[in-house]
Structure 1
């Protein structure tokens, strides 16, 4: 035991000395601080989680142009209904997410819709990094290391919501893009630069799991990831006549499925 913690009083003093001000992003323009339900800055190599009510707006921002937000969504209290990236791509006939895109479950229902996107650099194909991959590339991928893997951090976020490894499907990532080359390979296209953001609307009550870690295809040999700003505020789900709802036959059907289910549950 070190001298700083060799007694209960010393250990308490040492722990309290580590207290630091919490860095929180400011509310987005036009959003009252009273409506905020989540405001957090997630450093690179870290994770966060929250349960959001239906209709909540979730804004992710990349202030330095170096964040990579790996996202999983589960219906709150029904974790077997969760983000299905394959259906998200297949149903919408599009592997590239952007404004108006929907994040779908395997039940044909909308979990979240993208209401705003100034980045355009996202990935629904690669998923997040793994322990084995990070060990091979950086020397370690455990959560407590200097190079934690995305799946390991998402497992921690999941555990704090009563979820386990079986509840972690492939994730989607924002702020670092991938494109399919003519030969079928994947090309990493990086970020759009600093100051971009993306806003999601929760179309069901959601458990949100987020890890901010380097993209698996990032060619940088060093483990580097910038801060991610996360804010959420109260709102309403997408209503009748909204352009996102009416964009395609597939979106109309997905929203109809969602409305029917939520009405039956009274949410």
Structure 2
């Protein structure tokens, strides 16, 4: 179709209505063809291609499921308290406070203020990383020849920067991220070992324990030894649910978890947010 005039360009643009690519948001999310059986009303449904990013603001209590469709995804995640982005995911505290370096079901994603931003309520992958962060422009340029955001081999930090800018965040607001579906473990000698994927269809479900800004980049893990830029589609689904309540198993799983939840609910109650 010709686009040489304004009328032709308008006609061409309108002809695209209703067309869908394999990797794109579904709007409204309730049109997603195969929602999880346990899901409430879907509020976010999207497939993020390898080398791409996405972002969203989720209400407290929303559950977010990430699925590694083909076994090659690696979702690098940042979280911020919505409206208070100075409170953000702190990967170091997430590891240190819980006395555990590895993300799994029952772990909490903590802010630097000792509060819970999200909890891991289900996990069928077990291949995650809270130690290495995401890839950088310099690293990807050295490995693949380019790491800029619009190249064929974009770096995770560059994509998270774009996602952050769309939420009023600058590059200086980006802390180290955590990643899902491509694992890394620390060997006895202190070296980081890449453990790769659990395979196609693995998923992890997070529950927002505050209103949060979610930034996601789907790019290869920085320790992935494969010479080619390898990253497959990441499925993102979110639905209305309830935040963790006192008396839930997750709340009382450890003394550290209990304190983090108490810190969170006390803060939200004082501000009329819960």
Band of TM-score, shorter chain: over 0.9
* Structure 2 residue 168 is matched with structure 1 residue 162: yes
- Deviation of the 1:84 alpha carbon: 0.2
Q: What TM-score do the two structures reach when normalised by structure 2?
A: 0.92
SS at match of 2:263: helix
Of the structure 1 ranges 19-28 and 227-236, higher mean CA displacement relative to structure 2 is found in: 19-28
Counterpart of 2:6 in structure 1 is: 8
Structure 1 CA distance for aligned equivalents of residues 56 and 173 of structure 2: 16
Aligned residue for 1:218, secondary structure, equals: coil
Tell me the CA shift for residue 10 of structure 1: 4.2
CA RMSD of aligned residues (A): 1.6
Q: 2:77 aligns with which of 71, 77, 82?
A: 71
Please give the alpha-carbon distance, in whole angstroms, between the structure 1 residues aligned to 2:50 and 2:172: 25
Distance 2:114 2:208 in 1: 15
Separation of aligned partners in 1, 2:148 and 2:221: 16
- Deviation per CA, 1:221-258: give whole Å up to 9, x if none: 11121100001011111011111110111111100000
Paired with 1:167 and 1:4, the residues of 2 have a C-alpha distance of 43
Give the Cα–Cα distance (whole angstroms) in 2 for the partners of residues 79 and 57 of structure 1: 20
For structure 2, which runs of at least 5 residues remain unmatched after alignment? 27-31
Q: Which residue of 2 aligns with 1:28?
A: 36
Deviation string, structure 1 residues 97-155 (Cα, Å, up to 9, x no partner) = 10100000010000000000000000001000001111111111111110011001000
Say which of 80, 89, 100 aligns to 1:83. Answer: 89
For residues 6 and 47 of structure 1, what CA distance do their matches in structure 2 show?
Answer: 32
Which residue, out of 118, 128, 132, partners 1:126? 132
Q: CA deviation at 1:13?
A: 4.9
How much has 1:11 moved relative to structure 2?
3.7
Deviation at 1:17, TM superposition (A): 6.1
Q: Secondary structure at the match of 1:158?
A: helix
CA pair 97-137 structure 1, distance change in 2 beyond 3 A: same
Q: Could you tell me which residue of structure 2 aligns to residue 250 of structure 1?
A: 256
Residue ranges of structure 1 left out of the alignment (5+ in a row): none
> How many residues matched?
263
- In the TM superposition, structure 1's runs of 4+ consecutive aligned residues that sit over 6 Å from their partners are none
Shift of 1:7: 3.1
Q: Structure 2 CA distance, aligned partners of 1:15 and 1:141?
A: 31
Matched residue, 1:107 = 113
Q: Could you tell me which residue of structure 1 aligns to residue 29 of structure 2?
A: none
Q: CA deviation at 1:18?
A: 6.1
